[in-house]
Amino acid sequence: MHISRILPFIILFFTGFSLTAQNDPVLFTVDGKPVTVSEFKYIYEKSNTGKADYSEKSLKESLDLYVNFKMKVAKARELRMDTIPSLVAELDGYKKMLADSYLIDKEITEKLAKQYFNRSQWDVRVSHIFIAAGPDDLPTDTLKAYQKVLEVEKKLKAGEKFEDLEPIYNEDTYSKPAHGDLGWMTSMLPNGFYQLENLIYSLDKGQVGGPARSKLGWHFVKITDKRPARGEVELAQILIKIPKGQAPDKYLKKADSIYTELKKGVDFGQMARIYSDDKNTQLRNGYLGFITINEYSQKFEDEAFGLKNDGDITKPFQTELGYHILRRISKKDNDNFEKDKKIYMTKIMQNERFSVSRQDLINKIKKQNDYSVSTQVYRQYTDSLTNKFFEPTWIPPNIKNLTIFNLGDKGYTTDELNQYLIKNTRQRVRLNKSMSPGFGFEEMFQDFVSEKALEYEQGKLEERYPEYKALTREYEEGFLFFEVTNREVWSKASQDTVGILDYYNHNRDKYMWGERATLATYTVKADSPEQFLKDCEYVKALDTKELIRKLNTKDKEVVTYTTEVIEKPKDGVMKDDMSWKVGSTSYPERNLDQKSGTVKKIISITPPAPKELKDARGFVIADYQDYLDKKWIDTLKNQYKVSVNDDVFKSLIKKDK
């Protein structure tokens, strides 16, 4: 078995524990190496999820398991398995993956997820002054826009009112008729608007702020209202459209009649399939799915979120599309961060804020560790570049092993940079060849610096996060546990044919067949139900040979059969209304073709008997593994001195359990 397959199991039971407190008592030692209470308590609670009652019995069971685990790890170290090159390489790979995810999760994803959750608890009503400056604007237009931004900013700081400046400067044709009102918003805003979201959620009701840049331009905002978030509501709808130019009265009457039937208890899905004009939802019983704020008109949203209970139905109401009747299916309130944490983290990683925060982290690492570039080496490198830089066959310049930048106590060389540029040839070739080689190189150089900055910080994780140090140690012990147990138990048990046979011969009584029966399934052909039932009576009354002679002829095969051996059910109850006795038959069943059917019959019963090794091999190997494991543990107990602090152990017991 490959280590990567067993590792998740090992880690689930044996990895991770809370930090050792300053006065964290030692619970036990293996050859003088201590295991503290905090370490054991984490293992105990994790391995007894939901059942960690701290009773003496359960604590003793977990203590014995953990002592055995620690002895096996000690044996692996004694055998120097922690120096096996293949094991070291694989462990280093896992540690690298762990460091990558740990740093990003700790410093970016978890913080952003919590930020997203906290913001999503509130809906915010926003008005803005928008000054357009999109990505396709000419530099001259962007400069003009920025001059307007500075003008608005100056006037706001001077005390001029937002409401007075909005009609003059707001370039948003959508919100301008509503005096800049954008309606209600909630986190998270789409990609390209993270700075705007940061501004909105930094302000209280009545406050004005800005400017904030978005992918469309610049925004000054005023928070006009705040409320607890409406969350998400799951809906079905019936839509009665009003054709253009038609009076609505006729269609309201139709909607009212549907509503009346619904109030009588007629199925909503059935009415949607018959009457709804929404082709997207009609055939799905009107199912609309989950909606949140700002997806539909304000009237639609108010009606939807006004439904108080699952199953409630709105009266017909009108929007620009026609008359709607909504049914609430469920309501989702995003009020439990831990429950939905993974969902929040997944959404974060798909949003621009993740890359923004990642870059912020990189900048923070560089600043904290005195990042500096050797201008001379950098210029020497860029001066040597030509357009061949964008070609797959590009050869790095002959600038050998010069330090091109420093970070903390480490210098990074042109040799390392060359390796990075060659390794990422595909990215290099995809760069826009219309740019100069210097610009292309700068883009990849910054990516190289970012990668090395994250690696540098990962190297400091054990210093900065003691729980990470504990986790990597447990990864290592998990690897060693697997390797030594595989050698001493798992592989030996599966490959030791002599030992397996000997174990089987000494324990044959453990591997028994239960009472078994030979079950025949007869297929009977008949042109009518009456004939089928008549022939099934012969099945009940005759043995197989007599049945074949009775019903089959040279010209016509009325009955065929198959047999199988089945074990007696544990509760003794057979399916198909059968009793566990010879001659018992099932209730005859006609096939869909109405020209044949089946009936089952127990034709013999065999008493319990020993299984042959080939029939019991899987069970024998599993038991043989347990046998070898117990023998090995006894050997380890004689080899390693285990000392348990009884007073500390007793202090963990909850007396009322």
Convert the pLDDT of each residue in 5-14 to its tens digit: 334 333 333 3
Q: Which of 130, 113, 133 is nearest to 188 (CA)?
A: 113
Could you tell me if 544 and 561 are in contact, meaning their C-beta atoms sit under 8 angstroms apart?
yes
Q: How far is CA 579 from CA 237, 562, 566, 589, 606, in A?
A: 53, 19, 13, 17, 15
465 pLDDT above the threshold of 80: no
Convert the pLDDT of each residue in 598-634 to its tens digit: 999 999 999 999 999 999 999 999 999 999 999 999 9
Task: Please give the angle made by the CA atoms of 470, 473 and 478, to the nearest 5 degrees.
Answer: 125
Q: What is residue 530's predicted lDDT score, i.e. its pLDDT?
A: 86
Convert the pLDDT of each residue in 555-574 to its tens digit: 899 999 999 999 998 877 78
Q: Thinking of the domain 232-332, which architecture would CATH place it in? A: Roll (3.10)
Q: Poorest-confidence range of 190-194, 215-219, 301-305, 458-462?
A: 458-462
Q: How far is CA 70 from CA 27, 66, 191, 467, in A?
A: 13, 6, 50, 19
Judge whether 122-228 and 232-332 match in fold: yes
Q: How many residues does the chain have?
A: 657
For the chain, give every domain's residue range: 1-78+465-511+611-657, 122-228, 232-332, 369-461, 513-610
Topology, domain 122-228 = Chitinase A; domain 3 (3.10.50)
Three-class DSSP category at 608: coil
Q: What is residue 656's predicted lDDT score, i.e. its pLDDT?
A: 59
Q: Poorest-confidence range of 184-198, 337-351, 386-400, 543-557?
A: 337-351
Q: Thinking of the domain 1-78+465-511+611-657, which architecture would CATH place it in? A: Orthogonal Bundle (1.10)
